[in-house]
Structure 1
Amino acid sequence: TMQSLQTCTVLLVLSVLIGLSWSLNPRDPNVCSLWESFTTSVKESYAHPYDQVTEEPCSEPRTSYRCTRHRITYKTAYRQAVKMDYRRRYQCCPGYYESRDNCVPRCTKECVHGRCVAPDRCQCEGGWRGDDCSSACDDQHWGPGCGQLCKCENGGLCNPVTGTCQCPPGYIGRRCEDPCPPGTFGKGCLQKCQCGTGGSCNKVTGECLCRENFTGTFCEKACPRSRCPLRCPCQNGGICQGKGICACPPGWTGEVCTERCAEGRFGPNCANECVCHNRGHCDPETGHCQCAEGFTGNRCSEECRVGSYGRDCKGVCDCANGSRCYNIDGGCLCEPGFSGPQCRERMCRHGTYGLQCERTCRCHDTHTLSCHPLKGECTCQPGWAGLYCNETCARGYYGHGCLEPCLCVNGGVCDSVSGGCHCAPGYTGAHCESPCKSGTYGKDCSLECSCSNSVYCSPIDGTCFCKEGWRGRYCSMPCSKGTWGPGCNATCQCANGALCNPADGSCTCSPGWQGPLCDQPCPMGTFGPGCLKRCDCLNADGCQGASGQCQCLPGWTGARCAQTCPEDTWGRHCNQSCFCQNSATCLPHSGACVCLPGYWGPTCQQSEYRKCLILIAGVYGDQCSITCPSCAHSSSCHHVTGQCVCTLGYTGALCEQACPVGLYGKQCTGVCRCAHNSSCHHQDGSCLCPPGWTGPDCTLRKSGSIDFLLHTLNICMCHVPSCSSDVPHSYHHYYNPSYHTLTWSRPPLPHVPNNQDRAIKASVITVTSVSSQLCYTCVLYTGYACL
């Protein structure tokens, strides 16, 4: 009826509207993208160049010269254009179809008692088998009504429709009757056994079964006759978890991790599922999709971007005349009117165009790149424009369609074809924006400057602009002494012999001076160039600024002023003499006398204590008021200090001790020189010879004959000179060499040893008219007696 027809029409319109309102979700894992072209009129932006002229300092920053610089600056401009563009279009991936706004898998055969879970893969309900889940046969039957008995051996399953055997791992053959050949295992016997010579391979799992005395995952290790250690059978990096269970690494599964993950599975024990579209392959370890040629993306769901193709979309298309390339192998898809591998060939012969190539092109042939084979539009060569390519580019433009603006500056002329700039003398660069590099000038910067010491050489004509401190046409003449600066027109102001820098007039000071003009001496304690050295003086008021020589304070001398003035000198340079009396010393810095106790006056010339020495004996000190100590052996005390002044042969605080053996004289400073272990007198050092020896130092041997005695003494008549002639000089103050007796002050006579007594008694000489003193002397020095 009419009413039902209207209802159907409304429902149809609603269904179309609802269908149009649905759109695919790009984030759907089963949605793929491809590129489609379209034309549009757009307002496009482009970089419009313009010349920005500035002045900035030339290469030498210290000069006042300014140089002109051109800088090409771009600003954004807009123009209308008709262009072909490309956009992504989304559709369901191969093997999937659109259902509302989702993409669901497509199975070619209907899953009768199950559901389609992947392209052409049914998941059957319980009790149903077959590719389309339509057979109710069990494992051992097949065919119509399940009337045929399955003859597969070794656990093989037969197809419920065809009856063909599907062999389990470890077996092959039409009925799965044959085990895997040696060295192979697994499903279809396609895997190679990895076991060593010490074991064999399990045909099903590939596990290595070791012979006796072998161990290791692959039975590759020999073990001693004793019990072998436990071994882990897990292969390919699997880890044993006890009781023969292996934890397989990513990409592997099976009892001992010998089976690679099936397509679409990945990860440890192949527990994860991945989907790669457009013939992409899932990496069994990482799950990443390895895309086929022409596709990219995480799931290989994206077609290569326009202009690229191939594996990982790394290929670059080479198609002409607006054609695009095939995303898989890069083949060009030509636009109408063109053909050839790169679509470079016109389908119409040269000079014609149209659907039947019946029309003649009107393009100026020598200036035309091509005439469109359908439309007859002229594509001009660079540098030409106009509808028929018969017009040159307007001034300031060049290139294809004369659309590119020239960028030449500094008087450069633009080539209308290439846009290259022909630069004026002194400039170079793609846009003539750069002056010639330092040291060159002229056309194409081909000439070299002759300047020696210049800041700047004119890039146009090579004129030299001299550095400060130089002059002349080629800047080869230095400034004369006392001048500096540009043109050497400034006068140097340096003092004290300082050198003036001809470039900037700065002063290099002589040693000992500082300051901008070298008119300030070095601060105290410093010297040398720049006053950078430190004086090395101890007792000085600084050092000489140039050499560093120490300027010693009064009373000091030496290279570092570390030594006091020599005795009896004082003052600066120690050139003053001391005039102090009575053993007084003078201060080295002032020359003032430092008197001993009991003396005073500018030169210590006055003293009351002298009367202690002259008038009163046995006293000393201030006003002669202190009694001397009891000094022994007639020794006296010092009139100032009271110390005992010992006589010859004595020492000690009270002069109570005779000199030690071997010493004699004042303060026991004399050293005995007597030979043959003889001793000496502690006062005068005279030697006391042992028997058989004589002489001043006991070095003369005695003789036993009387003639020798008489001859030695020459005293037949006891002549005094003969006896006294042997007396050493040191005894002359103890006796008078005459016939008189010794004075009261002679020393006591030395004791004559007993052996000498015997010698004297044995050899007796009678001498007359000789004094007893003389005979004593003879006895003392010869060992013989005068009677």
Structure 2
Amino acid sequence: MVLRAAALALHLCLLSALRPSDPNVCSYWESFTVAVKESYTKPHVVSSGEPCPTVMGTSLPCPQQRIVHRTEYRQALHTESRRRYQCCQGYYESRGTCVPRCSQECVHGRCVAPERCQCEPGWRGADCSSGCDERSWGPDCSQRCECHHGAPCDPLSGACSCPAGFAAPRCRDPCPDGTYGRGCRLRCACPPRAACDASTGACRCPPELAGPLCEVPCPEGTPCDTPCPCQNGGLCHPPGTSSCVCPHGWMGEICSVPCPPGRFGPGCQGECHCHNGGRCDPKGGQCQCAPGFTGEQCRERCPVGRYGPDCRERCDCANGGRCFHVDGGCLCEAGFQGSRCEERRCQPGLYGIHCESRCLCHPQHSQSCHPLLGECVCSPGWAGLFCNESCPQGSFGAGCLQPCLCLHGGVCDGATGLCHCPPGYTDEHCSSLCPPDTFGTNCSGRCSCQHALACSPLDGSCVCKEGWHGPHCSTPCPAGTWGAGCNRSCDCGHGAGCDPQSGACRCPPGWQSPRCLQPCPNGTFGAGCGERCDCANADGCEPVTGECRCLPGWTGSQCKQSCPQGFWGRGCLSPCSCRNGAACSPHDGSCTCAPGFRGPSCQRPCPPGRYGKRCALSCSCAHGSPCLPTNGSCLCAPGFRGPRCAQPCPPGTFGLQCAQLCRCPHNATCHPASGTCPCAPGRTGPHCGDETPEQPYTIVPAPPAAYSSLGVVLSLVALLALLVAMVAAGLWCRHRQKGKGSRHLAVAYTAGQTDTSDYMVPGDGGGGGDTSVVEMGTPAW
């Protein structure tokens, strides 16, 4: 115990001179060995004087052995742990304090945080090396920034730092719908019906809603407004104004911007200092440590025997194995193995598979031999199993146990630890890149780039600006490519090219959208869909040429002309199928029939007794007279006249329209339909002029009072049938020979009833005939 106390005191004296109170000093636990005296049980073989078993009846003494265990003492090395201090990640020690590290030298400024320079007035850039103002960049500040809306640009690359509400790369376009803030990285919280301000994220509510997020419905029929626009629990102060006091974790004009990393508190005014990957709580500022670290600022590694998040897990390593503070993995001491270091390999002082080998270290390059594993403790700069190898890359010192501080692949001198930097890096730890326009080993090369953002400090290769390529960035991008090195292909549809710098598609006429995949909206055409269609009676126009797409029934360059007679449809290409003088619709080809016809093509005349448009009207003619199917005018049967054929012929007339005069003796009245005369007894013939008829039959005239009404009815029925046949024949001829003149039909009326009348219509002088032909004009319908 005295030896252990002395060893601990010695270790405390050797602790680093860094002050633990320094906020940039982190702690870790270091293992070391202490020589102690320990007891152990050792087996021994001893002899026994007990008699041997009886042989042939005789008991004889014989040597016997047995194993006994005795407690013995030995010197042993125990592993202890102590807390050590070092600069936190991103810091390095300088004169007893930890200062931030910047890989690029802050030329006209100072390094205030890891990789962050604070520039002197009048200087800009990541390394404070550029004197350009916010509107210029490049060597000698000769390039003008292409940023819009007052955005400054990077003095080295010309990249724009867009203000809130505008999108990269040139800050010309506002944030896409649904996003806002700097870089357009924040998502709007407004409901779908409310617009979102691209700069602040404020919601512009519709008239029926109010509240910061338009979540409060207005009273029915009454518009309302939002007196306080503060979001996320922010308060308007003074009351009645729109000035917001933000809660913990939020900032911005209306408290819509979350705290950036490393900031916390009301309005994000507090600054966190969390180390070793710890995250800052934006509300309270507490550090949420990564696994393996603890403490208020995550500066301390987990104590020995603990690991994991908040160091809650307990290590389970046996035989002095050290526990990795992040995941609890065991690092075994020499001589032990297994996942928990529970397997012991050899006794102290021996090594090998069977613990029978002794140390074989190089006499000049070694200091001692490890008593457990047989490993050699090598002199500074030497390593290997027998200390016959120089230190491997990344280590130096005694036993090559000290890690090199050479960064970026720098080669460390095995004895002294001095760094030999690779091409492109400089300073004592190879932590800084070559100055601009230089490259190679010891930064001795000079760059020769055009149209380049930078020159590679490693090999002098040029990092071309967007739109240029080639070894010296002197060749513009070929068609169809864009971006840095022209290594990106234009993703544009319909053969569109793209901007070689930004890759934005240049749409051909008739197309739009970021990738030229959407045709122009209906009613527009041309490049950028910026021209309006000049069309009447059209469904828009062709998006490329502006040619009008006429609606059915219209034609012409501007669709102002109706289809010519006989054609219809889109382009007036379909011939009409209407007949009998029907009108054809130029839009759908439907037929508007002339009076007296019906059917899809007006091919059928009206049925008997119907007339007019679509044959919708009924004839009103008396005495069974037919009517014209066009206008319904009556065609009177023989013996009748008048508009409705309701009036009989006047005495002394007969026939159609009562146009013929009776030729009866003594001015007697004839039959109004047939014109036959009433003959006196002994007289016969149509005009009662014959005494002895030559007919093979005998006609006996009867007095008019004795006439049979049945014969009159039958005669009228026969006459009506002949008229109907005449009308049908006329319609058929009209259908067959459209356009021909009127034809005449011959109607013969015959008196052949021996029991009713002896009279017939007089003939035209032909021999042997008893008929008379009456000429009728057939209407041309």
Q: So what's the TM-score if we normalise by structure 2?
A: 0.37
Q: So what's the TM-score if we normalise by structure 1?
A: 0.37
Task: Give the greater-gyration-radius structure (CA).
Answer: 1
